[in-house]
Structure 1
Amino acid sequence: MLPEPVIHELEDIVGRNNLIVDEHRIVAYDCDAYVAEKYMPSAVVFPETTEQVVAIVRCLGREGIPFLPRGAGTGLSGGATPLNHEVVISLAKMDKLLDLDFENRRATVQPGFVNLRLTKEMANDGFYYAPDPSSQSVCTIGGNFAENSGGSHCLKYGVTTNHVVAAEVVLPSGEVITVGEPYGDPIGYDLLGVLVGSEGTLGITTAITVKILPKAQAVKTFLAYFDRVDDASQTVSDIIAQGIVPAACEMMDQLMIHAVDKSVYHVGYPDDIEAVLLVEIDGMLESVEDNAQRVLDVCNQNRVRTVRVAQNDRERALWWNSRKMAFPAIGRISPDYLVQDGVIPRTKLSAVLQRISALSAEYGLRVANVFHAGDGNLHPLICYDARIEGQLQQALALGQRILEVCVDMGGSITGEHGVGIEKIGHMAYMFSEHDLKAQQDLRDVFNPQGLCNSGKLVPRPGACVEDRSMHHVVPPILVGVGPDGGS
């Protein structure tokens, strides 16, 4: 519980209606979409301006009270979980579009502005915002900034850091800095690059300027059905080897196909195929037609059963909605599931999928795979039942083994979901002690008191985070995700 004087000061800053201290209401903020661990915040405060964020941070810093920023809570690694019972600074009410500059192809938004809303705001003008996480209908650009979010179209267009050009940030000291440059290259050190993907551990972003793009002249979308996963995997590598960079190249295996076709977005996938590729080509009309034929040729060379071409925008939207329903759709075939997020060289897809299949059999747990195949970003979803004693621990252990396989194959423990608290124990598997110390030293420059989102992203030397993550001790609160995606 916060001291009464602090509560009164926060009320003075944001107003009584923008502060929650009632434990029955703050429980809604005890985790993000990583629901395996929950911790109660000491309060939730809703600023509406940069000046209010500054005043809140200075108030809490003066009293030595930890705090963390939060967006829409769609993060999948616990980055917004109040591990230290922090005051949650929710940026949900900082949701304004501050500027839209079509001539210079820039937009400036507050951090609580929803990703998909930006594209909708300028759709009639022929522009869009490229980063498209599966949660784009609800996730915020501030949250995307914190996690360096990707999405299906990052193969061609890049992740969030490739689209953010400038930002206003409140440091943990309460100072306000502007990093990057709205037009042209910034001078000096790339502090913007440091802040994007820092998971709210270095400061709180209060305004973000991003690139906006004109819609492509032409788009062609394919569904390719394969009898063998290996053939689908080889197709991905061969498409890129041809010098073709699709706007997106997504893959689902058989278990995932069965799950998504039970959702409201029923495509009608054949029951007996092992894999489906969703490939999208965009650009100038002539190049799209040429590349589309080359993609079809590659699919045929790899024993594709059938290739379907979207006949209109409605069919294309159905296919994409089916793909983006993948995570919640698993709730239709399993009472609980653990989402993983590793990266491998795309040429290793077949080998890694075979290894995941072997590990699935070893642990006795089903694994459904959906991933951004073009850039090797895997999303194995481990199915388990939390009501069965020991299954959560088995799922966690299997998840760790899968991430180790990714690193051993020359990849990474995360591609777009971040480290948060879920993967913090795995950082030492990928980085040396000196690497981790350098990252911690950088964090200490921005956040010397350790009050801003402590315990996330980078493990401190000698910290006991490994006892929770690496050795799979049961978390304080365990929650299953049901068919409705709720807890």
Structure 2
Amino acid sequence: MTVEPIKFLPPRAHVVGNRASILRDLASIVPRECLIEKPRELVAFETDAFVSYRRLPLAVVLPRTTAEVAAVMKYCHRQGIPVVPRGAGTSLSGGAIPQEDAVVVCLSKMSRILEIDSADRTATVQAGVTNLTISEAAGAEGFFYAPDPSSQLACTIGGNIGMNSGGAHCLKYGVTTNNLLGVKMVLADGTVIELGGKHLDSAGYDLLGLVCGSEGQLGIVTEATVRLIARPEGARPVLFGFDTSEEAGACVADIIGSGIIPVAIEFMDKQAIEICEAFAGAGYPMDVGALLIVEVEGSDAEMQAMLSDIITIAGRHGVKTVRESQSATEAALIWKGRKSAFGATGRIADYICMDGTVPLSQLPYVLKRTSELIDRFGLRVANVFHAGDGNMHPLILFDANDPSEAARAEEVGNEILKLCVDAGGCLTGEHGVGIEKRDLMRHQYTDAELVQQMAVRSAFDDGWILNPSKVFPLDGRPTA
């Protein structure tokens, strides 16, 4: 059966109109200090943390208010100018890279915390506020914001919403969508809408759930209301060392299968352990092939009871080392090593970071197959990831100056993502599809499913001007 194609406009190769006149028009919408147009200044916006592609945008607008975002969008919609929303540029899938003559709308100037409401346990912030800043602002009231990506010092809440980001503590507290209550958003034509709010549920369709993870293709979020959580009485990370990655993976599945939900379970293989220990001096055991960081929280009695059960389970999987943190300083070092993994790896090699997610029961198999694939392609891998929810982050090491290695790294990365899908998982857990995975979407979805997704996208932006060259295969119009 052939699926009736929908209207799909591929990425524009050029802007309708003259660049000089577009810049003059934009300068009439925002102050000159909020408009970047010189090539040497645009270089900072030509790529993001996924550095495989680079392209200078037509211009960068730095709006200060929702009204300015709306005015820019209204103008670009009228002129048919592609727009790429951008937060801090920490995207690992190319989500913020302009692949066409686009105007980048960067929300870094919209960085105010509008309200901390301890009674309702919510924070309302502008989209350019960094992830960690929310917890710092709420800390005085005894609260924190749970999602904590490794880039939380730099990444913004707007970008977190775009990619539905997670982090180490998402095992217990959920990812962005589980902690997002409301947004103010500017649509492609400049219309401003509000979805959700401080209330726990809304009538009608769950458009808030649709927006979270939409990668800036349905609108530009300018404000967000998020859930705050009371800080636990105590928290304790514990290191569990195993001889093999397969043993560690099986232990994770067994812990979750037993009904125990720690606040976090993080995985490192031997390559990752060595890289992170050399950078952070976290005290990781160096005589093991794989390491789990398991964090529990609550009262001393609660933590000890949970740890006792986890240690028993780990013993069934040949655990070699069990080391509890003995102080806040030691706990901070343990997490510093884990959260520095990407940066620490970048010191020793170029790398591609994958983001596939698999059912926990498949972790041992996928880890084994990943190792076999890496060996077959003659490369190295450092596995470090959120094991508790099966969100894998294999870092494929290569030399970017060697075209052969670069090509092999990209090819094996695609094979690993296909492996995740074939094992019952999906292409992305928190980094998004972006540029990196758009051509793999057909490996996970049928043509009919892609057509339906694109129909939803078109309902919000029928001209496809918002982040147009991301997420979906560029040839469009799939048939089934």
- Whether TM-score is above 0.5 comes out as yes
Measured in 2, the distance between the counterparts of 1:220 and 1:134 equals 19
- Relative to structure 1, the CA distance from residue 312 to residue 136 in structure 2 (aligned partners, 3 Å threshold; closer, same or farther) is same
**Which deviations, in whole Å up to 9, do the C-alpha atoms of 1:402-438 show, x marking residues without a partner?**
0111111100111110000100000000000000000
Contact in 2 for aligned 1:131/1:158 (Cα 8 Å): yes
Measured in 2, the distance between the counterparts of 1:109 and 1:269 equals 37
1:26 corresponds to: 42
**Which deviations, in whole Å up to 9, do the C-alpha atoms of 1:259-295 show, x marking residues without a partner?**
11121x1123333310010000113443322112111
Measured in 2, the distance between the counterparts of 1:395 and 1:403 equals 12
2:441 corresponds to: 427
Contact in 2 for aligned 1:6/1:59 (Cα 8 Å): no
Once the two structures are superposed, the pairs formed by residues 407-422 of structure 1 within 5 Å of their partners are 407-422=421-436
Q: Is 1:91 matched with 2:112?
A: no
Q: Is 1:59 matched with 2:75?
A: yes
DSSP 3-state at the match of 2:221: strand
Give unmatched runs, 5+ long, in structure 1: 465-487
1:73 corresponds to: 89
DSSP 3-state at the match of 1:262: helix
Q: Is 1:243 matched with 2:259?
A: yes
Q: Is 1:325 matched with 2:340?
A: yes
Once the two structures are superposed, the pairs formed by residues 55-454 of structure 1 within 5 Å of their partners are 55-263=71-279, 265-334=280-349, 336-454=350-468
- Relative to structure 1, the CA distance from residue 389 to residue 457 in structure 2 (aligned partners, 3 Å threshold; closer, same or farther) is closer
Q: CA deviation at 1:239?
A: 1.1
Measured in 2, the distance between the counterparts of 1:284 and 1:166 equals 32
DSSP 3-state at the match of 1:342: coil
The one-letter code matched in structure 1 to 2:458 is: D
Measured in 2, the distance between the counterparts of 1:7 and 1:398 equals 42
Q: CA deviation at 1:395?
A: 0.5
**Which deviations, in whole Å up to 9, do the C-alpha atoms of 1:160-214 show, x marking residues without a partner?**
0001111000000110111113213100001101100000011000110000000
DSSP 3-state at the match of 1:377: coil
Residue number among 29, 34, 40 corresponding to 1:13 in the alignment:
29
DSSP 3-state at the match of 2:56: coil
Measured in 2, the distance between the counterparts of 1:79 and 1:30 equals 12
Q: CA deviation at 1:461?
A: 4.7
Percentage of identical aligned residues:
44
DSSP 3-state at the match of 1:224: strand
Measured in 1, the distance between the counterparts of 2:214 and 2:354 equals 19
Q: CA deviation at 1:462?
A: 4.1
**4+ long deviations beyond 6 Å:** none
Measured in 2, the distance between the counterparts of 1:230 and 1:260 equals 20
Contact in 1 for aligned 2:283/2:334 (Cα 8 Å): no
Q: CA deviation at 1:301?
A: 2.5
Q: CA deviation at 1:297?
A: 1.6
Contact in 2 for aligned 1:439/1:458 (Cα 8 Å): no
Give unmatched runs, 5+ long, in structure 2: 1-14
**Which deviations, in whole Å up to 9, do the C-alpha atoms of 1:354-394 show, x marking residues without a partner?**
10111111100001101111111110111111222311110
DSSP 3-state at the match of 2:278: coil
**Which deviations, in whole Å up to 9, do the C-alpha atoms of 1:205-242 show, x marking residues without a partner?**
01100000000122121011112222211211121122
The one-letter code matched in structure 1 to 2:399 is: D
Measured in 1, the distance between the counterparts of 2:169 and 2:284 equals 22
Once the two structures are superposed, the pairs formed by residues 455-474 of structure 1 within 5 Å of their partners are 455-459=469-473, 461-462=475-476
1:483 corresponds to: none
The one-letter code matched in structure 2 to 1:375 is: D
Contact in 2 for aligned 1:220/1:292 (Cα 8 Å): no
The one-letter code matched in structure 2 to 1:353 is: L
**Which deviations, in whole Å up to 9, do the C-alpha atoms of 1:89-124 show, x marking residues without a partner?**
000000000111001101100000000011111212
TM-score (norm. length: structure 2): 0.94
- Relative to structure 1, the CA distance from residue 189 to residue 450 in structure 2 (aligned partners, 3 Å threshold; closer, same or farther) is same
DSSP 3-state at the match of 1:378: coil
1:484 corresponds to: none
2:5 corresponds to: none
The one-letter code matched in structure 2 to 1:450 is: W
DSSP 3-state at the match of 2:393: strand
- Relative to structure 1, the CA distance from residue 54 to residue 257 in structure 2 (aligned partners, 3 Å threshold; closer, same or farther) is same
TM-score (norm. length: structure 1): 0.93
Measured in 2, the distance between the counterparts of 1:329 and 1:298 equals 31
**Which deviations, in whole Å up to 9, do the C-alpha atoms of 1:424-461 show, x marking residues without a partner?**
00000000000000000000010111111101112355
DSSP 3-state at the match of 1:437: helix
Q: CA RMSD in A?
A: 1.4
Measured in 2, the distance between the counterparts of 1:125 and 1:184 equals 21
Measured in 1, the distance between the counterparts of 2:70 and 2:31 equals 15
